[in-house]
Amino acid sequence: MIRHTVVFRLKHAPGSEAERDFLQAACELATIEGVKKFECLRQISAKNPYTFGLSMEFADAAAYAFYSEHPDHSAFLQQRWIPEVADFMEIDYEPAGGL
């Protein structure tokens, strides 16, 4: 199992229609084959500057690679993510096994 997460801050004003539109578009990534347990999250800690997060799981590295290379994911990155995200951090996890 791989858990793919990203926290981010948008260029849009909080609560704006542009912000809602971006988040709705991001949620469409959940329809890509192999995506499991997709969540769009509002970040509430004062300990970091990010405002939203996306989290999803994949059965294995092949499913994650399929998602990463999928045309819908690539289009989202080019058409929405790059122009609309001000800052982000991506973290991918797998079970630590044996701990």
Q: Is 76 part of any domain?
A: yes
What predicted TM-score, i.e. pTM, was given to this entire model?
Answer: 0.91
Backbone torsions φ then ψ of 28, nearest 5 degrees? -65, -20
Q: Is 96 part of any domain?
A: no
Q: What was the pLDDT predicted at 92?
A: 96
| CATH number, residue 73 | 3.30.70.100
CB 52 within 8 Å of CB 41: yes
Q: Is 14 part of any domain?
A: yes
Per the DSSP assignment, residues forming a β-bridge with 6 are 54, 90
Cβ neighbour number for residue 13 with a 10 Å cutoff: 9
Residue 71: band (very low, low, confident or very high) from pLDDT cuts 50, 70, 90: very high
Domain total of the chain: 1
Q: Residue 30: which domain range?
A: 8-52+62-86
Residue 97 CB-half CA count within 13 A:
4
